[in-house]
Structure 1
């Protein structure tokens, strides 16, 4: 009996550990580039893909995306979104310092000298600004095998849970909205959906507390999803949806196309 309890306890700890290891932490960096420098920055982000691939090979990150904004609250605020994926919050907060980035650049581009690498980074810092950075933790997602690749479309929906309704909002997303999005995935109307929570403590004046990613393989799938109407939805389900909507404020929605991806 004691051996059985021991093995059950070990199994529970193993499952808990495995679940913790699968949790993703993500940094969203909203990038602004002046119009006269857009062409130079397009070249620079292609260079960055190779640099982040070196960071992936070194197990410093578990992924990196570069998104081009199609629409949002105010396109003059930023034109791109960079998303870097990490295994744990410590690695996320430490991030990739400038020295590490330069070292990975040297590996990716061995023909460049140390002086050329340093100059490249100084020029890149001058041509871009990051007016907003979000540290997020993924807390739930749909079951799917969707593969991120250039051309994929996504909407990034920034939410703010109403004061005192933080748990109510997350419960609504998990129990009401995730099944709806799972149905979309199963019917080939969506590629992937996930809910993220801010990974840093925030006060009541925070602009957002959560983010949902709605991912589509292309514009055709996106517009099909927008026009879809679930006529089989019951009155109870509609009531649950409306209650969930009232528990949060949808602050901004950004539509973006994936241009570069590292996995």
Structure 2
């Protein structure tokens, strides 16, 4: 009996450790490319997919996405969103410097010599700008088996919790909005939802404090979700939804299509 109790305690501890290890940390790079250099950058992002795949094989990252912006606050500011996934906040902050990326490029393209790789990167870096970068930690997500593949849609909703309502807003997302999104997933109206907290930048002048990611397998699912109205909500549930909405300012919503993915 004592051995059984010890075994159960050990199992619970291991489960807690595994859940802690599954916390995702993400770097969002909002990328701007001049219109006359779009085709050059398309070639570069395809090269980057091969580079980040080498980084995944080396366990430096957990994944990488490249999204093309369909709509947002100001599309002239940037046209793409690149997300790099990590399972450790230190690795997230360290990221991958240029020397590491060059080494992975050499592995992905063994036929290129050192000079060719260096020239490739210098030309690529010259055609793009990163006007905004966010460091995020995933707080909670839905239970689903959504498959990330080119062509899926996502809306990235940047939020800013009102002063004094930070905790109330997070509680609302976790206890009120997550069940709503989980229900939509179970009804086939959504693929995945997750709630993220901004790690950097910090402070009252930061443009956002949180972000939600809403994933859809295609435009049909996306538009069905927009048209759906839950008529089964009770008055108490509607009150909690309203309170949650009033605890934050929805700064921007960006709709994007996944073009490249590494998992």
Relative to the length of structure 2, the TM-score reads 0.97
Instruction: Confirm or deny that 1:174 pairs with 2:174.
Output: yes
Secondary structure of the structure 1 residue equivalent to 2:44: helix
Q: Would the alpha carbon gap of residues 35 and 155 (structure 1) be closer, same or farther in structure 2, given more than 3 Å must change?
A: same
Instruction: Confirm or deny that 1:98 pairs with 2:98.
Output: yes
1: CA distance between counterparts of 2:116 and 2:102?
Answer: 10
Secondary structure of the structure 1 residue equivalent to 2:27: strand
Deviation, 1:165, is: 1.0
2: CA distance between counterparts of 1:3 and 1:229?
Answer: 52
Q: Would the alpha carbon gap of residues 15 and 201 (structure 1) be closer, same or farther in structure 2, given more than 3 Å must change?
A: farther
Q: Which runs of 4+ in 1 moved over 4 A?
A: 1-9
- Structure-to-structure mapping, 1:23-62, within 5 angstroms: 23-62=23-62
2: CA distance between counterparts of 1:209 and 1:67?
Answer: 21
User: Which stretch of structure 1 is more off in the superposition, 117-126 or 6-15?
Assistant: 6-15
Deviation, 1:260, is: 0.3
User: Which stretch of structure 1 is more off in the superposition, 73-82 or 160-169?
Assistant: 160-169
Secondary structure of the structure 2 residue equivalent to 1:199: strand
Instruction: Confirm or deny that 1:124 pairs with 2:105.
Output: no
Name stretches of at least 5 consecutive residues in structure 1 with no aligned partner.
Answer: none
2: CA distance between counterparts of 1:7 and 1:75?
Answer: 55
1: CA distance between counterparts of 2:119 and 2:46?
Answer: 17
CA RMSD of aligned residues (A): 1.4
1: CA distance between counterparts of 2:145 and 2:84?
Answer: 20
- Structure-to-structure mapping, 1:1-263, within 5 angstroms: 7=7, 9-200=9-200, 202-263=202-263
Deviation, 1:10, is: 3.3
Secondary structure of the structure 2 residue equivalent to 1:164: coil
1: CA distance between counterparts of 2:179 and 2:12?
Answer: 26
How big is each residue's C-alpha offset from its partner over 1:1-58, in whole Å with a ceiling of 9 and x where there is no partner?
8767755553443222111111000000000000110010001101110110000000
2: CA distance between counterparts of 1:27 and 1:144?
Answer: 23
2: CA distance between counterparts of 1:161 and 1:13?
Answer: 33
User: Which stretch of structure 1 is more off in the superposition, 14-23 or 112-121?
Assistant: 14-23
